[in-house]
Amino acid sequence: MKKGGTAGTGATGRRGLLKRAAFGGVVAATGALAAPQVSRAQTVTWRFQSTWPARDIFHEYAADYVKRVNEMGGGRLRLELLPAGAVVPAFQLIDAVHAGTLDGGHGVSAYWFGRNKAFSLFGTAPPWFRDANNYLGWFHYGGGEALYNELITDILKLNVVGFQNGPMPTQPLGWFKNPIERVEQLRGLKFRTVGLATDLFNELGAAVVALPGGEIVPALERGVIDGAEFNNPSSDRALGFPDVAKVYMLQSFHQHTETFEILFNKPKFEALPAELKAILKYASESNSADMSWKLQDRYPKDLLEMTQRQGVRALTTPRPILEAQLQAWDRVVARLEGDTSSPAAGPFFKKVCDSQRDWCRRTGVFFLRNEAPSVLAFNHFFARG
């Protein structure tokens, strides 16, 4: 009996072990299946505000970035996009991200120009860059990113992490009631611009007013300003410029290159796991490429809409004005580089300019020698009678 009992107890023990093992397998399988549910339950949602009105194509570019992050975040990180003014006015975005009132945002470095003039060198530098993609080359491979981080972290002590992306084409001189045909017409003109372009137009005699995108057209309509620039045909059309002015002057050196800036609160960014940090970074680079393709479709279409259906006269800025801008740039840069009394200019400003000039001199020589003239090819294929 004892032997049989032992055998029985052994069999029962084995059966119990098998049951427990089977049950454990079910638990393990259930746990494996449940893991995504746990991940979704732990989704981090960040408030991400742009500096652009919801109707502007710039806000659409911000939405394109957010879409990439949310799709790649795997339910662990989600950005909630808000338009300018939803939490703070456009010009207060960096302060809100620094304080953690906002988790992140989409704008341009030139908007923080009042904090330190060197900010405008990151995205709206003098026109020594061939184009905005050439600027991004300097930022990522010519030492620009280290200088940018030195400015925001060491000099200004800002709790933000920033990415530069989105190469913009040359910006038009802007919108006016009458054509700008001579440099003298800029003297005394109440004109909207931002960043280092304010110094440039002041140098040319204009009275500069800095306004965020959503406030420009109302100011132009009321006569608070006489002329204004914003950025591109799609933004300008969406914001309503053709309703208040009919002269659109194309070509300018005031903002020959510009890029966007994506900001995040630094403590929150640094608390993320490495893979989510990588998503925020590489989504910015993907968004940058996509934007450079999208604008090629949209900007020409909107310029045609304005000129063919809205009565807009698109004129080329005369060469003497372009030359006067370049000469004014020489004076502005020399003054800011030599201003050792101001923490917003002086040695650091010159340090960034020197780095940019070295990059542009080296890369410019190559591309000018290497690239066949695009005007020659365009005229050959498309300008023949």
Residues 159-199: tens digit of each pLDDT: 999 999 999 999 999 999 999 999 999 999 999 999 999 99
Residue 31 has pLDDT above 70, yes or no: no
* Rounded Cα–Cα distance for residues 55 and 302 (Å): 14
Which of the two residues, 35 and 58, has the higher pLDDT score? 58
Check residue 384 and give its pLDDT: 77
SS (H, E, C) 238-301: HHCHHHCCCEEEECCCCCCCEEEEEEEEHHHHHCCCHHHHHHHHHHHHHHHHHHHHHHHHHHHH
Q: What is the pLDDT of residues 66-87, one digit of tens each?
A: 999 999 999 999 999 999 999 9
Q: Which two tokens stand for residue 357?
A: 């000039």
Looking at per-residue pLDDT, the higher value among 20 and 294 belongs to: 294
Fold exhibited by the domain 44-169+258-295: D-Maltodextrin-Binding Protein; domain 2 (3.40.190)
Nearest Cα residue to 161 out of 102, 89, 78, 97: 97
Contact 48, 80 (CB under 8 A): yes
- Pairing of the two strands 258-265 and 160-168: antiparallel
Same fold, 44-169+258-295 and 174-256+311-371: yes
Burial class (CB in 10 A: 0-12, 13-18, 19+), 368: exposed
**Closest among 207, 223, 195 to 112, alpha carbons compared:** 195
Mean of pLDDT over the chain: 90
Which homologous superfamily is 174-256+311-371 in?
Periplasmic binding protein-like II (3.40.190.10)
Token pair, residue 68, equals 């990439």
Calpha distance 348→188 (Å, rounded)? 32
Going by C-alpha positions, the residue among 266, 270, 223, 215 that lies closest to residue 239 is: 215
Structure tokens given for 46: 């960040």
CA 241, chain centre distance (Å)? 22
Q: Of 85, 87, 133, 125, nearest to 108 (Cα)?
A: 125
3-class secondary structure, 108: coil
Residue 370 vs residues 17, 366, 380: alpha-carbon distances, Å: 76, 6, 20
CA-CA distance, 73 to 283, in Å (whole number)? Answer: 10
The pLDDT value given to residue 24:
44
Residue ranges of domains in the chain: 44-169+258-295, 174-256+311-371
Separation in Å, CA 153 to CA 74, 147, 159, 160? 31, 10, 7, 8
Residue 232 pLDDT exceeds 80: yes
> In the prediction, which pLDDT does 343 show?
66
Mean pLDDT of 281-291: 98
Q: Is 179 exposed, middle or buried (0-12, 13-18, 19+ CB in 10 A)?
A: middle
